[in-house]
Copies of this chain bind each other. A is one copy, B any other.
C-alpha cells in the first residue's frame, strides 16, 4: 500500500480556492464549474469530480447529500477549526447546517467503538433530519 503523489495543478488549486471562498455555502460539482466559468476558467467535469474525491479523502472537503435525486454538495472544511471535532446536523427541508458540540455525541463515538468495533469519523459524517424551525410548521 503505497502513497500516491499529488501534484499541485492549476485546476486543483482553482477548485480548492473556489470552495474555500464559498465556505459558507455548499456547491455542487456543476456549480463549482459555473463559479469558475464566471472568472473565465473552464475545467472539465471529470477533473472536478476527481479533484473533489481527493479533497474528501484528505479531509479538506465535506460532501453532503442535499436532496434525493439531486446532485451532491461539497463544502470546505476549515483546517484546525472546530468543525473537525464536532458533529453536523443538516436539515433536509431548509438546508440549514447546524454545528453540534455535545458530549452525548462523544459518548456515541465511544459506544460505537466499544460495542461495534467501528471508529466514527466526524469530518465525514452528517446527520440528516428536520430542524426545529421546520418541524414546527
Contacts and interface: CB of A to CB of B under 8 A. Distances in A.
A137 to B, nearest CB: 9
Contacts of A126: 125
Interface stretch (A13-21, A34-42, A76-84, A116-124): A116-124
Contacts of A100: 112, 116
A7 interface: no
Interface in A65-99: 65, 67-69, 71-72, 89, 91-92, 98
B135 A119 contact: yes
A59 B130 CA distance: 14
B104 A108 contact: yes
A121 B130 contact: yes
A115 interface: yes
A117 B135 contact: yes
A70 to B, nearest CB: 8
A65 B131 CA distance: 19
A111 interface: yes
11 contacts: A65-B67, A92-B124, A98-B116, A102-B115, A104-B112, A117-B132, A118-B129, A119-B130, A119-B135, A120-B129, A121-B128
Nearest 4 A-B pairs (CB), nearest first?
A117-B132, A124-B128, A120-B129, A121-B129
